[in-house]
């Protein structure tokens, strides 16, 4: 068989992505039709930049999700076809078996794996970890930043000192110290997970309690229900058989994170939270001078109600924008980790690791590194554009 | 340098200006004409958003990216500004036409010394040398009566007080002796006594330099004091134009009339002759009705005629300088008495509910926030020995300018701060040292507050109804959600808002409507004492009346004790039973409204009274201009707090005013004054305001 | 002002103490020490041997004591090992078990003794000094490219918000911020230094630049770091400039008849630079990240490369030295940024 030309390669890739295109078209049509009813999200569709950004982001999100169901990929990302080592894009597989896709669309890497399928699978790693890690970082940052900004004084001094302490650490040094197999053995990341992941629980508990303080009949069952479910999830998350923390018996343990992911997750949350803390603290200090906060105080609201229901919702604009930017930043961090070979297993298809693998032979073979590099670039670019669009639209009106 | 030209300085002819946004074209000014003659001061009055500033910026040809002049001409000394090139405009700006803005702090470059900012003007326009420019700057700063001009030239804007900054802005405008000065609400951000001094200065300088002025304001009283002619604007159009006398005394437009009826003039009385608010709301530029813009709110509206088509300016017969944009102006009986509607009974004050006794609140503050040494603190005496009583269904006004301690007092009463000394008795229970968390629900619900800034008093991300329901929940009103919802709707009825507003977000409400929601929320727990902190000062005049009226009405129904904090003596005189005047944390005068508004006055009350502009040509006022600014509470003067600005000080022998804080003196009938002046001097005081007999 | 400085320096020292202690603790955890022992001795050591190896070299002491010794506030250890040799922290292997005349008993950071690198077999002080010098060279050029470039782009874009220049420059800035160093570095090497594209304008490795930096071997690393930071600073500058340009006092200046170039230069610039200045200074710590990536990618053996080596091999004392230096870089830039902020912003007065 002849190697494919660039036109054929692109057409075939386009075809492979068909589920993603369909999903994107459906999503955009629905959103544009109902945009007037969708609040800030709807307004996004008034801004070209925002739409382009959202499109890019959703492209990778869908790619990640469909990729996880083995929809888009052409080959097993770990399978090696010996003749395909470092072959350029579009190379046909010699003696392809029946049912096997006959080409490596983006070529093969130095272990003769399919670059295209690895890129698609890599998206799933990012789409799984980045938003969730950012969300946790926000929970931690918000739960600590609100009281620091609202009360000020000693509490603020202490928390700010701690935040600055973490910020003064060069991120890479921190990663090198935390994400090594030796440290993982000591169980420190598990303990950190235990501490960091408790914040969402605290956050939701305080949120509900402050809202329904005046109606104990509603509050108590609600709290028990919600906290019960969250607590179970929490315990399942932190409890890992074979590590320092095994609190749940296997039967009750809902899921276990695959090796390395928990450490990576914890470190990323840990590095991101102080910045979120600082932002939230600044916003809280600003908003607490508003009259509606004074009005809440004069009707005797408790501090946590004021923080969570009067201050936080009105800080959402800058926080949403920062959330998007931060997912991008987290994606970059994940890549950095992969680049230094930290955390995730070496055969992992995530983009940082593949870039790192590919760069060794970069002078001769471009494609193994360039493909994931552009994937990461477009994803982060999308998030940045999305944040910009959101910022612009939230400033209007 | 200046050419001799004796035609009109500024001639605006059927000017129309639009802003172009993504959604639509917003016609901000339509068919607007005005003429300013040399040496003349023309006022431009109207409510917020009616297009006053847009006219001013149109004259300066600085409408921003999306603004455009879509019709008409603006001639300056006979030359059309629309047709000038950027270069020509640049030569005129600053040298021939100068503009002064509302916010002094924002119009000065924070990172440039005052001197440099002033000297720039002659250096650009006349190529003056640095030395000449400096001399000129020194002279102008002296002209605007700033102390120690050399030091001021060498300081940064943030080192001056608001009043001083505004004087610098004025000085900057006068640097090149322009022929036309445009003042856009030059004093709104200033305290009343400082405002009076700045207005006085502007008048003097206008005469001295022979400058023509276009004076923009929403305050009819100020325009009366400063201008020769005026033009009333409504929703993008000029509705009436004429000399001060014509418009104030012989008004020919229903809007002008309604405006005058909605502001408290001396003689108005909340029970016998209440104010009359203009019904309805100001239309947004893109929601203007057909025909007369004022139609939907006009008492004389005639369907089929007023809403038929565009209405042009008509000259009033017999007076070619007086014009009005009303079809029916000749049919209306302009002298008919206002229909006062309900003349309510004056409620009798009941028993004492709130009693303050020698209340003191001191703050310790770091001397310098950023670089301060530890332990280097100062004591700020925010409230000094406050004593008074308030009764059921009584309105007690607390009057004073910025920094006088009004807000601190409110905070202590609400329990957001605890008192340093003295006591607060609510129904004979001490609450001065019970912070709000420790108060029981009933006490919290009893004492509530209405805030000043309507744009800030509602949580922007919660529906109106939800916010009221939350207050009900906290105050323990109603047994379940349905009951509370019902009660919330009743509260909306109480403040005269449609029930549908419950589902709205605060940003969909106008300022006055938000303030009503604020009031509804305060009354959610059937408050018995309501502290209203400048509840109407941020609202437009036509809305002010409606909101004050509402407060009064609820008070009458619910027998509420109202503590009304304000700096505006006109409104205070209109609605309060008793008045307490504060200055720098001290109560300087306390008495019934009649006692406080008639001599003998405390010297500060006297100055305050003279400073408030009154929009009534029959009123003659004594002019008492206070020197300098209000001292900072961090650094109060020794002895009497008012001694730095008091004009009576020399009458007190032995420099007593500088040495001792005067005692509170009883003048009989509960009237108290904190002053060293002798009986004779007090007795010799003349009334500040006199109404000429009709 | 003096008080302010003192307080800041106090906080700085406290932060440095806390951070070094954390690093010290993490590197001295049992698995790390075991790895160290196996690296130093041989890989097939039994647990027993590891224990005695560590015991003999002072690693088995309690953590606070070890930390105090490293700091130089406690006397260094002298241990007679099970193998018969007596070792001391300050004077190495002791002949016949007694310290020589005038030997020091304290040898920690306070005495200027940074310890000994197990990887490079050299004093930590001298390693850091040379590596820091090399990185200094790199950073200097990065700053020279990045700061003026970013400010010019930001000011030009923010000067007339919404214009075509603004849109173009903003898009460029967004793209550069979305490109981490390991992506842009890879792309640069691919495009400018690989045989595949055949351009071969620059060198794909900067090893030779350590001795003699030339245009060929230094452009790519410098550009890689500068680009990422540039977009960020440019966006901050643009935002700040755009905000200043809508300020009332700019309108005042315009209506005073000041010409547009003068408005930008005299009135807007100083105000617009206040915010980005802080950002630029706070970029430093973050540039350190870029440095580590780029030095690894281009094989430039500077400070960042050393960090990777030290961390990868659990070279405790070198790692501590590296942390101290990087923490101080971060804290000193914060201090400078505060002082500069005060200088640029007359609204904050210094008593
Ligand atoms: N840049 C702009 N873009 C769109 N609409 C504008 C713009 N500037 C002003 N407008 C609209 O034009 C109308 C007139 O505004 P203008 O500022 O002239 O009112 P004003 O009488 O000066 O009010 P105020 O008393 O509040 O200063 C308003 O409805 C306003 O919303
Ligand atoms: S034209 Fe008609 S609606 Fe308009 S002001 Fe005159 S009477 Fe009123
Ligand atoms: S005590 Fe003296 S200074 Fe004070 S108000 Fe009376 S006369 Fe003026
Ligand atoms: Mg205006």
Per residue in B236-254, pLDDT (tens digit) is: 889 999 999 888 888 889 9
Answer whether A297 touches B (CB < 8 Å): yes
Q: What is the pLDDT of residue B343?
A: 60
Q: Report yes or no: C302 and C242 within 8 Å, Cβ to Cβ.
A: no
CA of B285 from ligand 1 middle (Å) equals: 9
Q: What is the pLDDT of residue A106?
A: 85
**What value does the mean pLDDT take over residues C160-188?**
87
Which residues from chain C sit within 8 angstroms of residue A181, using beta carbons? 31
Q: What is the pLDDT of residue C152?
A: 92
Beta bridge partners of A146: none
The first and second tokens of residue B304, run together, are: 């089929």
The count of other CB atoms within 10 Å of the CB of residue C291 is 26
Q: Report yes or no: C328 and C128 within 8 Å, Cβ to Cβ.
A: no
- Taking alpha carbons only, the member of A144, A64, A52, A1 closest to residue A389 is A52
Which residues from chain A sit within 8 angstroms of residue C311, using beta carbons? 173, 176-177
> Pocket around ligand 1: residues whose beta carbon is below 6 Å from it?
B 19, 21, 26, 28, 46, 48-54, 64, 66-67, 218, 285
Q: What is the pLDDT of residue C350?
A: 41
The count of other CB atoms within 10 Å of the CB of residue C294 is 29
Length of chain B: 694
Task: Please state, in angstroms and rounded to a whole number, the distance separating the CA atoms of residues A372 and A351.
Answer: 5
Q: What is the pLDDT of residue C97?
A: 63
Residue C279 clears pLDDT 90, i.e. is over it: no
Q: Report yes or no: B291 and B309 within 8 Å, Cβ to Cβ.
A: yes
CA of B361 from ligand 3 middle (Å) equals: 23
List Cβ neighbours of C224 (8 Å cut-off, separation of 6 or more): C181, C184, C185, C188, C290, C294, C297, C298
Q: Report yes or no: A288 and A303 within 8 Å, Cβ to Cβ.
A: no
The count of other CB atoms within 10 Å of the CB of residue B16 is 18
Q: In the predicted model, what is the mean pLDDT of chain A?
A: 86
Q: Tell me how many degrees the CA angle B675-B678-B682 measures, rounded to the nearest 5.
A: 80
> In angstroms, what CA-CA distances link B442 with B32, B164, B436, B446, B475?
56, 47, 11, 6, 7
Q: In the predicted model, what is the mean pLDDT of chain C?
A: 83
Which residues from chain A sit within 8 angstroms of residue C294, using beta carbons? none
Task: Please state, in angstroms and rounded to a whole number, the distance separating the CA atoms of residues B209 and B204.
Answer: 9
CA distance B117 to chain C (A): 9
Residue A81 clears pLDDT 90, i.e. is over it: no
The residue written with tokens 């500068």 in the block is C226
- Taking alpha carbons only, the member of B121, B63, B132, B178 closest to residue C262 is B121
Least confident of A366-370, B560-564, C250-254: A366-370
CA of B121 from ligand 1 middle (Å) equals: 28
Q: What is the pLDDT of residue B372?
A: 44
Burial A2-14 (b: 16+ CB within 10 A, else e): eebeeeebeebee
CA of B220 from ligand 1 middle (Å) equals: 20
Task: Please state, in angstroms and rounded to a whole number, the distance separating the CA atoms of residues B542 and C12.
Answer: 58
Which residues from chain B sit within 8 angstroms of residue A298, using beta carbons? 414-416, 436, 444, 447-449
Q: Is B676 in the pocket of ligand 3 (CB under 6 A)?
A: yes
The ranges of chain B with pLDDT < 70 are 1-5, 272, 338-345, 366-377, 693-694
Which atom from ligand 2 is nearest to the alpha carbon of B329?
Answer: 6
CA of B49 from ligand 1 middle (Å) equals: 5
Percent pLDDT > 90 in chain A is 28
Which residues from chain C sit within 8 angstroms of residue A377, using beta carbons? 178-179, 183
Residues 94-113 of B with CB under 8 A from C: 94-95, 98-99, 101, 103, 106-112
Q: What is the pLDDT of residue B464?
A: 93
Q: Please write the tens of the pLDDT for every residue from A317-355.
A: 889 888 998 998 898 888 888 888 887 888 888 888 888
- Taking alpha carbons only, the member of B361, B357, B354, B363 closest to residue B422 is B357
**What value does the mean pLDDT take over residues C176-200?**
81
Least confident of A60-74, A80-94, A246-260, C104-118: A246-260
Q: What is the pLDDT of residue B135?
A: 92
CA distance C267 to chain A (A): 26
Whether residue A340 and residue C179 make contact (CB cut-off 8 A), yes or no, is: no
Q: How many CB pairs under 8 A join B and C?
A: 81
* Residue B426 φ/ψ, nearest 5 degrees: -105, 115
Q: Where in chain A does DSSP place strands (E)?
A: 91-92, 103-104
Q: What is the pLDDT of residue A112?
A: 82
Q: What is the pLDDT of residue B3?
A: 54
Q: Which of B414, B436, B457 sits opposite A292 (nearest CB)?
A: B457
**What value does the mean pLDDT take over residues C102-126?**
82
Task: Please state, in angstroms and rounded to a whole number, the distance separating the CA atoms of residues B570 and B547.
Answer: 15
Q: Report yes or no: B460 and B507 within 8 Å, Cβ to Cβ.
A: yes
Q: What is the pLDDT of residue A378?
A: 92
> Pocket around ligand 2: residues whose beta carbon is below 6 Å from it?
B 254, 292, 294-295, 298, 300-301, 306, 311, 326-328
Task: Please state, in angstroms and rounded to a whole number, the distance separating the CA atoms of residues B656 and B662.
Answer: 8
> In angstroms, what CA-CA distances link C254 with B119, B134, B156, B190?
15, 21, 20, 25
The count of other CB atoms within 10 Å of the CB of residue B267 is 13
The confidence band for C351, taking pLDDT boundaries of 50, 70 and 90, is very low
Q: Please write the tens of the pLDDT for every residue from A106-163.
A: 888 888 888 888 889 889 888 888 999 999 999 999 999 999 999 988 999 999 999 9
Residue A307 clears pLDDT 50, i.e. is over it: yes
Q: What is the pLDDT of residue A281?
A: 92
The count of other CB atoms within 10 Å of the CB of residue B575 is 24
Touching subunits of B (3+ CB pairs, under 8 Å) are A, C
Q: Which of A294, A310, A397 sits opposite B451 (nearest CB)?
A: A294
Q: Which of B107, B125, B373 sits opposite C257 (nearest CB)?
A: B125
């Amino acid at each position: 068989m002849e190697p494919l030309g660039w036109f054929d390669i692109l057409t075939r890739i386009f075809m492979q992505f068909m589920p993603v295109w369909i999903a994107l078209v459906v999503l955009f049509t629905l959103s544009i039709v109902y945009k007037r009813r969708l609040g800030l999200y709807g307004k996004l569709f008034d801004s070209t930049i925002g739409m382009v950004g959202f499109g890019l982001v959703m492209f990778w999100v869908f790619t990640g999700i469909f990729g996880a169901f083995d929809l888009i990929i052409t080959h097993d990302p770990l399978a090696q076809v010996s003749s395909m080592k470092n072959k350029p894009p579009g190379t046909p597989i010699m003696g392809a078996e029946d049912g096997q896709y006959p080409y490596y669309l983006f070529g093969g890497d130095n272990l003769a794996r399919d670059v295209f399928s690895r890129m698609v699978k890599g998206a799933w790693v990012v789409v799984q970890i980045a938003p969730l890690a950012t969300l946790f970082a926000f929970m931690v940052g918000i739960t600590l930043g609100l009281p620091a900004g609202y009360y000020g004084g000693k509490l603020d001094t202490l928390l700010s000192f701690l935040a600055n302490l973490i910020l003064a650490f060069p991120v890479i040094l921190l990663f090198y110290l935390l994400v090594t197999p030796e440290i993982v053995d000591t169980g420190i990341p598990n303990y950190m997970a235990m501490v960091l992941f408790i914040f969402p629980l605290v956050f939701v508990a305080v949120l509900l309690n402050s809202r329904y303080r005046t109606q104990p009949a509603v509050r108590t069952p609600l709290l028990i229900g919600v906290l019960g479910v969250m607590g179970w999830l929490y315990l399942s998350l932190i409890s890992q058989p074979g590590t320092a923390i095994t609190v749940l018996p296997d039967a009750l343990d809902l899921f276990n994170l695959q090796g390395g992911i928990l450490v990576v997750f914890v470190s990323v949350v840990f590095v991101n939270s102080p910045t979120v803390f600082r932002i939230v603290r600044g916003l809280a200090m600003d908003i607490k001078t508003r009259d509606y906060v004074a009005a809440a105080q004069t009707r005797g609201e408790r501090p946590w109600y004021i923080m969570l229901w009067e201050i936080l919702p009105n800080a959402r604009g800058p926080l949403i924008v920062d959330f998007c930017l931060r997912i991008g930043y987290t994606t970059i961090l994940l890549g950095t980790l992969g680049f230094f070979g930290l955390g995730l297993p070496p055969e992992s298809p995530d983009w940082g690791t593949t870039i790192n693998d590919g760069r060794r032979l970069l002078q001769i073979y471009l494609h193994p590194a360039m493909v994931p590099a552009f994937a990461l670039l477009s994803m982060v670019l999308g998030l940045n554009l999305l944040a910009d669009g959101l910022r612009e639209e939230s400033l209007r009106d | 340098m200046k050419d001799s030209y004796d035609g009109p300085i500024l001639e605006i002819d059927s000017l129309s200006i639009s802003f172009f946004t993504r959604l639509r074209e917003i016609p901000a000014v339509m068919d607007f004409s005005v003429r300013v003659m040399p040496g003349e001061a023309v006022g431009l009055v109207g409510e917020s958003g009616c297009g006053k500033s847009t006219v001013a910026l149109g004259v300066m040809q600085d409408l921003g990216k999306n603004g455009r002049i879509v019709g008409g001409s603006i001639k300056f000394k006979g030359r059309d500004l629309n047709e000038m090139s950027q270069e020509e405009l640049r030569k005129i700006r600053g040298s021939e036409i100068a503009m002064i803005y509302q916010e002094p702090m924002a119009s000065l470059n924070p990172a440039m010394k005052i001197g440099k900012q002033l000297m720039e003007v002659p250096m650009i326009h006349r190529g003056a040398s640095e030395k000449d420019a400096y001399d000129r700057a020194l002279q102008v700063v002296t002209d605007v009566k700033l102390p120690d001009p050399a030091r001021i030239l060498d300081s940064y804007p943030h080192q001056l007080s608001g009043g001083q900054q505004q004087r610098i802005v004025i000085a900057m405008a006068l640097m090149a002796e322009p022929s036309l000065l445009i003042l856009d609400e030059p004093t709104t951000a200033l305290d009343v006594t400082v405002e009076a001094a700045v207005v006085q200065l502007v008048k003097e300088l206008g005469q001295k330099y022979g400058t023509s002025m276009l004076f923009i304001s929403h305050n009819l009283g100020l325009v009366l004091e400063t201008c020769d002619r005026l033009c009333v604007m409504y929703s993008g159009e000029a509705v009436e134009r004429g000399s001060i006398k014509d418009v104030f005394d012989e008004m020919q437009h229903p809007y002008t009339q309604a405006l005058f009826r909605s502001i408290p003039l001396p003689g108005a009385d909340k029970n016998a002759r209440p104010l009359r608010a203009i019904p309805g709301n100001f239309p947004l530029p893109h929601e203007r009705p057909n025909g007369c813009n004022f139609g939907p709110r006009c008492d004389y509206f005639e369907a089929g005629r007023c809403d038929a088509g565009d209405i042009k300016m008509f000259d009033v017969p017999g007076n070619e300088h007086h014009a009005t944009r009303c079809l029916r102006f000749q049919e209306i009986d302009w002298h008919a008495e206002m229909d006062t509607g309900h003349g309510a009974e004056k409620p009798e004050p009941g028993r004492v509910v709130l009693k303050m006794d020698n209340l003191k609140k001191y703050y310790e503050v770091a001397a310098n926030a950023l670089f301060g040494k530890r332990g280097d603190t100062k004591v700020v005496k925010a409230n000094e020995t406050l004593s008074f009583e308030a009764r059921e269904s009584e309105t007690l006004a607390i009057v004073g300018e910025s920094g006088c301690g009004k807000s601190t007092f409110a905070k202590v009463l609400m329990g957001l701060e605890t008192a340093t000394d003295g006591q607060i008795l609510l129904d004979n229970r001490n609450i001065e040292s019970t912070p709000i968390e420790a108060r029981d629900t009933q006490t919290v619900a009893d004492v509530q507050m209405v805030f000043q800034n309507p744009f800030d008093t509602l949580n922007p991300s919660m529906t109106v109804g939800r916010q009221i329901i939350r207050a009900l929940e906290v105050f323990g009103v109603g047994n379940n959600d349905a009951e509370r919802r019902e009660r919330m709707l009743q509260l909306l009825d109480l403040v005269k808002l449609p029930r549908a507003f419950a589902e709205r977000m605060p940003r969909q409400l106008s300022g006055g409507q938000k303030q009503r929601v604020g009031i509804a929320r305060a009354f959610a727990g059937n408050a018995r004492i309501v502290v209203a902190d400048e509840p109407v000062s941020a609202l437009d005049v036509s809305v002010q009346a409606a909101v004050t009226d509402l407060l009064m009405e609820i008070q009458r129904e619910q027998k509420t004790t109202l503590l009304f904090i304000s700096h505006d003596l006109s409104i205070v005189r209109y609605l309060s039973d008793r008045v307490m005047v504060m200055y720098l944390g001290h109560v300087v005068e306390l008495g019934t409204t009649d006692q406080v508004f008639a001599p003998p006055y405390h010297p500060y009350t006297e100055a305050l009274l003279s400073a408030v502009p009154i929009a009534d040509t029959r009123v003659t006022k004594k002019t008492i201009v206070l020197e300098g600014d209000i001292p900072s509470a961090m650094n109060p003067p020794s002895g009497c707090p008012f001694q730095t600005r008091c004009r009576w000080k020399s009458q007190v022998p032995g420099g007593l005013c500088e040495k001792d804080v005067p005692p509170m003196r009883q003048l009989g009938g509960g009237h108290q004054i904190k002053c060293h002046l002798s009986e004779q001097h007090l007795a010799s005081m003349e009334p500040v305001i006199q109404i000429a007999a009709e | 002002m003096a008080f302010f400085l003192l307080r800041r320096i106090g906080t700085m020292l406290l932060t440095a103490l806390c951070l070094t202690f954390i690093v010290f603790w993490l590197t001295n955890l049992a698995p790390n020490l075991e790895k160290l022992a196996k690296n130093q001795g041989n890989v097939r050591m039994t647990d027993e041997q590891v224990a005695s190896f560590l015991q003999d070299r002072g690693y088995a002491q309690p953590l606070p004591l070890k930390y105090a010794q490293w700091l130089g506030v406690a006397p260094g250890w002298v241990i007679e090992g099970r193998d018969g040799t007596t070792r001391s922290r300050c004077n190495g292997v002791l002949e016949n078990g007694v310290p020589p005349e005038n030997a020091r008993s304290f040898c920690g950071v306070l005495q200027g003794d940074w310890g000994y690198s197990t990887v490079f077999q050299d004093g930590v002080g001298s390693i850091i000094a040379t590596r820091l010098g090399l990185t200094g060279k790199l950073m200097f050029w990065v700053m020279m490219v990045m700061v003026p470039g970013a400010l010019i782009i930001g000011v030009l874009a923010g000067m007339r918000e919404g214009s075509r220049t603004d849109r173009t420059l903003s898009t460029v800035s967004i793209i550069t911020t979305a490109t981490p160093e390991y992506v842009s570095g890879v792309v640069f090497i691919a495009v400018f230094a690989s045989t595949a594209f055949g351009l071969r304008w620059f060198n794909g490795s900067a090893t030779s630049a350590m001795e003699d930096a030339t245009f060929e071997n230094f452009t790519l690393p410098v550009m890689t770091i500068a680009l990422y930071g540039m977009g960020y600073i440019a966006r901050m500058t643009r935002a700040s400039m755009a905000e200043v340009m809508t300020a009332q006092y700019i309108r005042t200046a315009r209506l005073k008849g000041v010409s547009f170039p003068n408005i930008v230069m005299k009135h807007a610039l100083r105000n617009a630079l206040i915010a980005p200045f802080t950002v630029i200074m706070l970029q430093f710590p973050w540039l350190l990240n870029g440095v580590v990536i780029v030095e690894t990618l281009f094989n430039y053996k500077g400070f960042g490369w050393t960090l990777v080596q030290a961390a990868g091999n659990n070279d405790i004392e070198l790692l501590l030295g590296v942390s101290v230096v990087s923490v101080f870089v971060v804290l000193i830039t914060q201090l400078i940024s505060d002082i500069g902020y005060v200088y640029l912003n007359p609204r904050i007065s210094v008593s």
